[in-house]
Amino acid sequence: MSLLDLAKAELLRSNADKRHPFRYFTLGTLSEYPELRTVVKRKTENELETILFTDSRTPKVEQIRQNNKVSLHFYHPKKKLQIRINGQAELIEEGHTDYDEFYNQIKSAPSLKDYTTQKRPGTEVKEESQILFGDDIHFIAIRVHPEYLDILQLGSDHHQRSAYFKNGREWEEKVLVP
């Protein structure tokens, strides 16, 4: 099995398995400094596009509006598999053809509350009791279209590493020194 096939299988497996280590991953955006944060993966699609949900008022959304180049980092500790993805983020907000599909996934879920704080995420409050919720929903989905993959498989005998570049709809492989 190629590293690309292994990575794709694990990313797709994590769609159904809520305890899969790829469910949580690191998203990197650009600001004055690179900004990294752990986010929840909602779905990986067949072409390896990754979907996540967030509050539309978060700094990461503004950073993506300024520069939509992002990086994703996944790590599977048991399989010692690391996947780094560079790609372009697409903001899926109200009016986008896919918005309703994603919004319907959270509108009846307990996580809907996460998108209803009266103040934007990251706003300082003196105490937790000042975190108030309202009726307005500040939901947005982000779809990352991958352009480059760096996949590393650590092993006891040897390590394997390959880079993959998007060439149209196909991935072109370059074997790398681990």
Average confidence score pLDDT of the chain: 94
CA–CA dist 108, 85 (Å, integer): 31
Return the pLDDT at 78.
96
CA–CA dist 117, 104 (Å, integer): 19
Average pLDDT over every residue of 103-118: 88
Return the pLDDT at 101.
93
Instruction: Name which of 9-13, 20-24, 70-74, 165-169 the model is least confident about.
Output: 165-169
Average pLDDT over every residue of 127-136: 88
pLDDT tens per residue, range 49-72: 999 999 999 999 999 999 999 999
CA–CA dist 178, 176 (Å, integer): 6
CA–CA dist 154, 105 (Å, integer): 36
Residue of higher predicted confidence among 167 and 74: 74
pLDDT tens per residue, range 167-176: 888 999 999 9
- The alpha helices in the chain, defined as continuous H runs, are 3-16, 59-66, 99-106
Q: What percent of the chain has pLDDT over 70?
A: 100
Instruction: Pull the structure tokens for residue 105.
Output: 């996934």
Q: Which residue has the tokens 């794709």?
A: 8
CA–CA dist 152, 127 (Å, integer): 43
